């Protein structure tokens, strides 16, 4: 969930890795697994899912 939130906030894999003190390849694995499980094919889809599920909130 942390990886998804940070990606949806617009952070790069490298930035996510640094924030969570994990390797960039671990972030890539998590991103791939999340996208496969949710049947999402791009970052825009991840952001949309995150907003719909309340994982991130967009200020209006």
Contacts of residue 7, defined as CB under 8 A and 6 or more positions apart, other chains included, come to: 13, 16, 31, 43, 46
Number of domains, the chain: 1
From first to last of its 60 residues, the chain has per-residue pLDDT tens of 899 999 988 999 999 999 999 999 999 999 999 999 999 999 999 999 999 999 888 877
Asked whether residue 58 is assigned to any structural domain, the reply reads no
Distance of alpha carbon 43 from alpha carbon 48, whole angstroms: 9
Asked whether residue 59 is assigned to any structural domain, the reply reads no
Range of the domain at 37: 2-52
Asked whether residue 57 is assigned to any structural domain, the reply reads no
**Reported pTM:** 0.82
């Amino acid at each position: 969930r942390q990886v998804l939130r940070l990606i949806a906030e617009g952070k790069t894999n490298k930035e996510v890795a640094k924030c969570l003190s994990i390797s960039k390849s671990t972030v890539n694995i998590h991103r791939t697994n999340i996208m496969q499980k949710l049947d999402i094919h791009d970052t825009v889809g991840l952001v949309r899912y995150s907003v719909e599920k309340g994982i991130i909130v967009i200020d209006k």
